[in-house]
Chain A
Amino acid sequence: MSVDVLLPSPVPVRFVAEDGTAVPPPTGYRVPEGERLLEGFRRMVVGRRFDRQATALTKQGRLAVYPSSRGQEACQIAGVLALRDDDWLFPTYRDSVALVARGLDPVEVLTLLRGGWHCGYDPAATRVAPQCTPLATQTIHAVGMADALRRKGEDGVVMAFIGDGGTSEGDFHEALNYAAVLRAPVVFFVQNNKYAISVPLAKQSAAPALAYKGIGYGIRSEQVDGNDLVAVLAVLDAAVEHARTGGGPFLVEAHTYRMDPHTNADDASRYREKQEVERWEAADPLARLETYLRERGLLDADAVGAAHEAAEKFAARVREDMNADPEADPFELFEHVFAEATPQLREQRALLASELED
């Protein structure tokens, strides 16, 4: 395969400028249909409201911790819109908005961060792997799942989410290499939000762009403006089609920005200037898409109002559902270690039972 075919665009692919005006479309990508962009807008509105609600729930003690993805909504939503229901998603802990957008129950999504259990949803039924906290380890699982789909003759695609910090981990590189050697139908989607907790991108990598990390492995790669939903969706559509039609893996880097601290427990003022965050407000993905759609006559004030109303209803439901105390059965601790508890676990279960009786 020629290197030219693999190389990403020298500048991030963009369809819509920060002020919402269309720029000359880059070659090689199709503009997504208006209805999909509208759906993207609606889900971004709900996603941002959900994200704000989740952060609020940490302050009320209803969530143990929440890693916000505010500012990354174009990536969160496009990643989901590019997939079919029978495709698989391997997310990280920062991708709750994407999971809600895929239709997962928000309480089940928040079960991990609420401290109720490690994963609240059914990965087999939803085709969403448990949100992964150890960095980059999920990328190689995604390759295995993609290879499994190929072996079963299914034309499903697997998308692995990862952040900029995660691309420094060895597992990411092993995953890229395995995916290329196996020609696995997997899309690696890097949301480069510029910070790994406090460490800025410049200290993470000296690569001209993270998208170039695919070249050495023989993987076709692209970089895209991660705050331009039209561009992210167009590029991910192409990446998914490439993987689905036997072209092998695809690496996409989206340039975006983490507007909030790492989590509610983090203090971002220790490592970045307020002015930097304010500059990124001008690149807000939601305002940009709204302007673009309005100028094209695809969206009006009524539709915007309806989207926000739906988001408020969604947030109210999340609030209400999360206000109930979660139920926890201490004996469940022993149930899922093995298919059948060992004699030692049965003894320990009996010990706990006697403690609970006291």
Chain B
Amino acid sequence: MTTSSMAQALNAALRDALREDERVLVFGEDVGPLGGVFRITDGLTKEFGEERCFDTPLAEAGIVGLAVGLAMGGFRPVIEMQFDAFAYPAFEQIASHVAKLRNRTRGRLSLPMVIRIPYAGGIGGVEHHCDSSEAYYAHTPGLKVVTPATADDAYWLLRDAIADPDPVIFMEPKRLYWSKGETSVEDRRAAGFGRAAVLREGRDATLVAYGPTVPVALEAAEAAARDGRDLEVVDLRTIVPFDDATVVSSVRKTGRCVVIQEAQGFAGVGAEIAARVQERCFHSLAAPVLRVTGFDIPYPPPILEHSHLPDADRVLDAVDRLQFDDEPDLLYLAGEAS
């Protein structure tokens, strides 16, 4: 057991995968001698050489398409999109080929590849560097979508992603890169794909979060505890496959649920979760399932991002609206009146 940052854990996962499996290749923009703009690939070219970890021309569709061909040819590419919004040129390759090749060929070809995407905001980044793009991928059948919130999960989920027989979109919450946590590289404790984690047990309401909003949920739960509210926090870990069982079992126990995502809310992952909870937990619910999300706006300039990002206060406001006092939700009543 050691303490490391998420960035260090990801770097260790790539290093160990390169060591253990010669089919693993790491490539993308600036991932070579520079070690990536976030240093996630630091030292890999030096240790494994240009054949295993290399810089590509600056063209994202090309990076993904090259990985498709290499995976068809027996390799296990782990590629980096430098930033969330810079992955959009590759979207056709991802949606039409990465996600579909197994299906198109009736399982005769598969694409064991990982697309790493630093995503979301909270780091003062300028436009096109802070998008929460997870819903685009989660909405595309054939892709697994993973997002760690702790250093230990970052290591193990990335190892699992590289070992997986199917393509994985590995979304790294960039504002958590430097957050530290206990990691157990030797002795695995982390669960695998498709398993959410209950990070904090509670009786009064369930907070469902993933990626960058997991620390927000934990902070809100701490604050609520001081006010005598006992909140449970569920970290999804993998958006696809989705762990209905853990979420449902938690909400059936607490009877209340707030879903938290950093992304804009409309048609987002949180909407899917809210719908699933409502479908499966209707008779256990004492209040509507609420969502706490970013606003439906293009990602704001750094000076205003704190107004956009869901924080513990916004979560606690939502918890207050969970009809503990059997009062109507004034927010929605106001909306109807206007």
Name A's B-contacting residues (CB within 8 A). 117-119, 122-125, 129-130, 134, 137, 139-149, 151-152, 170-171, 174-175, 177-178, 181, 332, 335-339, 342-344
Given the known inter-chain contacts A143-B65, A337-B142, please indicate yes or no for A148 contacting B57, CB distance below 8 A. Answer: no
Complex Cα distance A148/B74, Å? 7
Complex Cα distance A118/B104, Å? 5
Decide if B338 is an interface residue (CB 8 Å cutoff). Answer: no
Complex Cα distance A313/B68, Å? 39
Would you list 25 pairs from A and B whose C-beta atoms are within 8 A, ordered by A residue? Answer: A123-B72, A125-B108, A134-B92, A134-B96, A137-B97, A139-B65, A140-B66, A143-B65, A144-B68, A147-B69, A148-B73, A152-B74, A170-B89, A171-B62, A171-B92, A174-B65, A177-B57, A177-B59, A181-B57, A337-B103, A339-B102, A339-B107, A339-B110, A342-B242, A343-B194
Given the known inter-chain contacts A151-B51, A174-B61, A178-B57, please indicate yes or no for A146 contacting B106, CB distance below 8 A. Answer: no
Complex Cα distance A142/B65, Å? 9
Nearest chain A CB to B276 CB, angstrom units: 9
User: From residue 155 to 202 of chain B, which have CB atoms closer than 8 A to chain A?
Assistant: 165-166, 194
User: Do A137 and B92 touch across chains, with their CB atoms under 8 A apart?
Assistant: yes
Nearest chain B CB to A155 CB, angstrom units: 14
Complex Cα distance A4/B213, Å? 58
Query: Which range contains the number of B residues in contact with the other chain?
Result: 35 or more
User: Do B109 and A124 touch across chains, with their CB atoms under 8 A apart?
Assistant: yes
Complex Cα distance A45/B104, Å? 31
User: From residue 89 to 103 of chain B, which have CB atoms closer than 8 A to chain A?
Assistant: 89, 92-93, 96-97, 100-103
Within 8 Å CB of B62, what residues of A? 140, 171, 174-175, 177-178
**A-B contacts, CB under 8 A, total:** 137
Within 8 Å CB of A145, what residues of B? 69-70, 72-73
Decide if B205 is an interface residue (CB 8 Å cutoff). Answer: no
Within 8 Å CB of B144, what residues of A? 338
Of A139, A140, A170, most buried by chain B (CB within 10 Å of CB) is A140
- One of A177, A332, A339 near B166 (C-beta < 8 A): A339
Complex Cα distance A145/B72, Å? 7
Nearest chain A CB to B70 CB, angstrom units: 4
Complex Cα distance A146/B51, Å? 15
A-contact 0/1 string along B44-68, CB 8 Å cutoff: 0000000100001101011001111
User: Do B104 and A335 touch across chains, with their CB atoms under 8 A apart?
Assistant: no
Name which residue of chain A comes closest to B75, CB basis.
Answer: A148
Decide if B244 is an interface residue (CB 8 Å cutoff). Answer: yes
User: Do B92 and A129 touch across chains, with their CB atoms under 8 A apart?
Assistant: no
Name which residue of chain B comes closest to A342, CB basis.
Answer: B241
User: Do A147 and B70 touch across chains, with their CB atoms under 8 A apart?
Assistant: yes
Complex Cα distance A142/B73, Å? 10
User: Do B93 and A137 touch across chains, with their CB atoms under 8 A apart?
Assistant: yes
- One of A123, A137, A339 near B65 (C-beta < 8 A): A137
